[in-house]
Amino acid sequence: MLNGHAPQSHADDADAVTLQLAPGRRPTLAYVAPPPMAMPEPPPQLGDYTVLGPLARGGMCGVYLGQHRHTGERVALKLLDPRWLDSPGAVTRLLGEYALRRRIHHDGVVAIRAAHLSPDGQPYLVMELLDGEDLGALLERGRLTIGATAALGAQVADAAAALHAADIIHCDLKPENIMLLYRDGLAGWPEAKLLDLGVARERGVALPEVAGTPAYMAPEQWQGRPSAASDVYALGCTLYELLTGVAPFEGTVLEVRLAHLEAQPAPASHRRALPASLDHLILRSLAKEPRLRPRMSELTSALTDLAFAHPPGARAEGVLAAVA
């Protein structure tokens, strides 16, 4: 929902949804975020950082390139749109990202170094600057190879497991919230970073609303009961899309919601040739019952094996699959 990285690929906030929980915790569709509007000009200076220019734009936040005025270090500055300053939830959510990130001990999650308020009361985060592109942008150029999907997925699963170890559920795992970095990671494939804790929540803490992106929301997340298994489901949806170029379910928000609750997705292997083990792993991740899904640690192990079995350069395999 809220992208804290660059470059921006497209306005995925148009697909983000917030659900209000009525008495009895039965969710009803309450709000679909509009496409991002042009953001007002940021202040030229935020604390010790000079604002150099825009990097990305989300529905409620803008991300800017910043440079420390003393050390010259460059960072990403995530700034709340001033039009949301009257929303206590928006302010709390942004500042809460910093508090959550401090509890996570894993380099595979984007680093948030500080949270501040500008002189006029705008909250902003100081984040590490990443050199790469999100997987949503990459998907616009084509589906990914088996090796790249496995390697990136394994790294994300390992990072998500660190969130779960800290009793944090991401709740918005999707291609746009995964950054492919221009440096080597697992098995010689690019490194991956998990982004955006904007809708993450603590395990077991009841909130009056649930939020996420419809194409990746598990049945229990739609019902207001997200768990660590919901992130497994979202990663399963993401792996499916990286390999096939389409999400398991498509349509209007209400059509997608019903499909997540009741329909069985066509196996990814119906859209392209895949190892049976990978096809089965994705289908298990998309099980309607959370208890039937694998744990993140199992995903990490299985995807790591696949990444090493399909290294870059093998059979001229790169990140993007050849067009059939």
Structure confidence by residue, pLDDT tens digits, 222-265 = 998 999 999 999 999 999 999 999 999 999 999 999 999 999 99
Tokens in use for 61?
């936040």
Residues (pLDDT < 70) of the chain are 1-40, 206-208, 314-316, 323-324
From residue 74, give the alpha-carbon distance in Å to each of 177, 181, 195: 21, 16, 18
Place of tokens 């019903």: 258
Contact 108, 156 (CB under 8 A): yes
Provide the 8-state DSSP code for 264.
P
Contact 51, 43 (CB under 8 A): yes
Predicted confidence at residue 302, as pLDDT, reads 99
CA max distance for the chain: 57
pTM over 0.75: yes
Predicted confidence at residue 324, as pLDDT, reads 53
Residues 6+ apart with CB under 8 A from 156: 108, 173, 178, 192, 194, 235, 238
Predicted confidence at residue 7, as pLDDT, reads 38
Catalytic residue among 12, 172, 196, 279: 172
Active site residue 134: no
Provide the 8-state DSSP code for 6.
S
From residue 139, give the alpha-carbon distance in Å to each of 131, 237, 239: 18, 14, 12
| CA–CA dist 171, 222 (Å, integer) | 11
| CA–CA dist 286, 282 (Å, integer) | 6
| CA–CA dist 15, 35 (Å, integer) | 8
Predicted confidence at residue 5, as pLDDT, reads 40
**H or E stretch including 111?**
none
Q: Report how far Cα 195 is from the mean position of its chain's Cα atoms.
A: 6
Residue type, 140: E
SS3 state at 280:
helix
Provide the 8-state DSSP code for 107.
T
Residue type, 123: P
| CA–CA dist 20, 174 (Å, integer) | 22
